[in-house]
Amino acid sequence: MEIRLFAGSAHPDLARRIAGALGVPLGQALVDRFPDGEVRVRLLESVRGEDVYLVQPTSPPVNDHLMELLLLADAARRSSAARINAVLPYFGYARQDKQTEGREPISAKLVASLLERVGVERVIAIDLHAPQIQGFFDIPVDHLSAVRLFARYLQERGLTENAVVVSPDAGRAEEARRLAERLGLPFAMLAKRRHGPRETSVTYVIGDVEGKRPLLIDDIVSTGGTIRRGVEALLEAGALPGVVVMATHAVLVGGARENLAHPAIQEVVFTDTIPLKDGGYTVLSTAELLAQAIRRVHTNQSVSALI
């Protein structure tokens, strides 16, 4: 079987970079809309008996891009593809991974079930909001991490001197700890209290940050409010200005840009799992990481070395 790579409209540039890293052409697919907004897709090349990889972050507009992915997978299944793999650099609905109040759905589980229902046999994702989302799938999930990308960048830029790695909450503590170990730095964490699905507050700082430059790592920056409040809490605890903020997924809605323009923030670093339309931030490519994962999956090699 050959590697056959296709992309929806969510992030074709990333798909082209992955194809370049793999040394394979990007397959041709039609993705358009009917006048009423219905999504229409068509694979323009034969995939019979092939190993198909669909590159499609379910980034905003999340529902449109999710529907494109489901339809692409169904088209591949009905075209007799041997195996269908969904490459989800960003997994939309991941923050809805539990019931926070009564009579709510578990939307992340529903999306997982939909992907399986249309014939997806494997998922490759980067920094799921909660690692336990892997358990929502009854198919293999290769959960990659951007920690190595951030570590390499910080070392190359010389940003690790007199620094401390900070997790914005308990949910990201494991990734922050791994980054701290890679860099040989101390680790701290912010205690965060959630007042609703969109409102949080930072109550105190766990760990010694006094006189150190914080390297704040998160998975998603949406409105940036948590980042701004976290930076202010770190400064109150004696941390130095010149904070480096790192996040895998740049959702950036609402007042995100204003919050990230805090005077104590020296640099904001994202990966390219979601396309950034405006500049002003450092963007690290995930194409090589995803290409390596695809190559290892295709040749039945271990992916754990990339995690």
Report the catalytic residues.
Answer: 192
Which residue type sits at 156?
E
Reply yes or no: is the peptide bond before residue 61 cis, omega within 30 of 0.
yes
Query: Contact 233/213 with Cβ under 8 angstroms?
Result: no
Pairing outcome for strands 39-43 and 29-33: antiparallel
Q: DSSP of 78-145, one letter per residue?
A: HTT-SEEEEEESS-TTTT--S-SSTT---HHHHHHHHHHHTT--EEEEES-SSGGGGGG-SS-EEEE-
Residue 143 CA to residue 267 CA, distance in Å, equals 27
The alpha carbon of residue 31 and the mean position of all alpha carbons in its chain are separated, in whole angstroms, by: 23
